[in-house]
Structure 1
Amino acid sequence: MQYDLINTKDALHEYCAKISEAKVLAVDTEFVRTRTLLPKLGLVQVYDGEHLGLIDTVEINDLSPLNAILADTKVLKVLHSCSEDLEAFRANLGLIPSPIFDTQIAAGLLQIGPSIGYANLIEKLQNVVLDKGESRTDWIARPLSTEQLRYAAADVYYLLPAYHQLSEQIESKGMTEIVLSEVACIGQKKTHTLPPEYAYLNIANAWKLSPKSRLALKLLAEWRLQRAREKDIAINFVLKEQVMVSIAMKLPSHVAQLSAIDGFLPRDIRQHGDHLLQLVSRASQADESECPLKIKRLIDFREYKKALSDLKQLCQEVSKANDIPIEHLASKKQLNQWLKWCWFEIDETEKMKLKPDIISGWRASLFTPKLRTLFNNDTGRYHALRDL
Structure 2
Amino acid sequence: MSNPRIHWLTDNHQLNQAVAQWQKHSWLTVDTEFMRTKTFWPIAGLMQVGKDDDVWLIDPLTITDWTAFTELLTNPAVTKVMHAMGEDLELFRHLTGHLPVNVFDTQIAAAYAGIDFSIGYQRLIAELLNIDVSKGETRSDWLARPLTQSQIDYAALDVFYLGKVYPMLVKALEDKGFSGWHREDCERQVTAAGTDTNPQTAWRDVKLAWQLYPQQLAVLQVLCEWRETQARERNLSRNRLAPAGALWDLARFQPKSINDLRRIKAMKPQTIRQSGAEILQQIAKGRQVPESEWPERPAGPLPKRVQPCVNAIKKFCRNRAEELGLLPELIPAKPWTGSLLRGWLNSGEFTMASHSSSDNGWRTEEVLKPMVKHLNAIDFNKNP
- Choose the corresponding residue for 1:251, options 234, 254, 274: 254
User: Cα distance, 1:49 vs. partner?
Assistant: 0.8
Aligned position for 2:167: 164
CA distance in 2, matches of 1:255, 1:130: 49
2:203 matched residue in structure 1? 200
Measured at CA, do residues 343 and 67 of structure 1 come closer, stay the same or move farther in structure 2, by a change above 3 Å?
A: farther
Matched ranges for 1:1-388 at <5 A: 1=3, 2-265=5-268, 268-269=271-272, 272-286=275-289, 288-297=291-300, 299-301=301-303, 304-329=306-331, 331-336=332-337, 338-339=339-340, 359-370=359-370, 373=373
Deviation at 1:336, TM superposition (A): 4.3
Displacement after TM superposition at 1:206 (Å): 2.1
- What is the alpha-carbon distance in structure 1 between the residues aligned to residue 375 and residue 61 of structure 2? 51
Partner of 1:349: none
1:246-287 CA distance string (max 9 Å, x none): 222212334443344345456654654444334333444555
In the alignment, is the contact (CA less than 8 A) between 2:313 and 2:337 conserved in 1?
no
Distance 1:41 1:310, change over 3 A: same
- Go from structure 1 to structure 2 and tell me whether the alpha carbon gap of 1:6 and 1:340 turns closer, same or farther (over 3 Å shift): farther
Secondary structure at the residue paired with 2:49?
strand
Change (3 A) 1:269 1:122: closer
Shift of 1:359: 5.0
The 8 Å contact of residues 31 and 139 in structure 1, kept in 2 or not, is answered as yes
Secondary structure of the structure 2 residue equivalent to 1:25: strand
Q: Which runs of 5+ in 1 are unaligned?
A: 346-354, 383-388
1:148 maps to a residue whose letter is: Q
Contact 2:206-2:247 at 8 Å conserved across structures: no
Q: What percentage of aligned pairs have identical amino acids?
A: 31
Structure 1 pair 220–55 and aligned structure 2 pair: CA distance change class (3 A): same
Cα offset, 1:63, TM superposition: 1.8
Amino acid at match of 2:363: R
Provide the aligned C-alpha RMSD in A. 2.9
Moved more, 208-217 or 299-308: 299-308
Cα gap change, 1:271/1:130 in structure 2, threshold over 3 Å: closer, same or farther? Answer: closer
Q: Which residue of 2 aligns with 1:386?
A: none
Question: 1:200 touches 1:222 (CA, 8 Å); kept in 2?
Answer: yes
Letter in 1 for 2:21: K
Which deviates the most, 140-149 or 32-41? 140-149
Residues paired across the two proteins, number: 369
Contact 1:134/1:147, CA 8 A, preserved across alignment: yes
Superposed CA offset, 1:118-155 (max 9, x none): 11111111111112211111212222122211110000
SS in 1 for 2:100: coil
Distance (whole Å) between structure 1 residues aligned to residue 290 and residue 128 of structure 2? 63
Q: Is the 8 A contact 1:123 1:129 kept in 2?
A: yes
| Secondary structure class of the residue paired with 2:132 | coil
2:368 and 2:336 mapped to 1: Cα distance?
13
State the Cα distance separating 1:23 from its structure 2 match.
0.9
**Secondary structure of the equivalent of 1:201?**
helix
- Call closer, same or farther: CA 1:86–1:362 in 2, change over 3 Å: farther
Quick check: 213-222 or 300-309, which moved more?
Answer: 300-309
Deviations 1:302-341 (A, max 9, x none): 5542332232233234324422222212x24433465489
Post-superposition shift, 1:76?
1.4
Task: Please report how far the alpha carbon of residue 212 of structure 1 lies from its aligned counterpart in structure 2 after TM superposition.
Answer: 2.0
Checking the alignment, whether the CA contact within 8 Å between 2:188 and 2:359 is kept in structure 1 is: no
Distance 1:221 1:301 in 2: 28
Distance in 1 between residues matched to 2:180 and 2:271, nearest whole Å: 49
Q: 158-167 or 11-20, which moves further after superposition? A: 11-20
Q: What is the CA deviation profile of residues 145-187 of structure 1, one whole-angstrom value per residue up to 9, with x for unaligned ones?
A: 2221111000011111101112112111111112111110111
Structure 1 CA distance for aligned equivalents of residues 164 and 247 of structure 2: 49
Whole-Å Cα distance in 2 between the matches of residues 86 and 250 of structure 1? 38
The 10-residue stretch of structure 1 (188-197 or 288-297) with the greater mean CA deviation from structure 2: 288-297
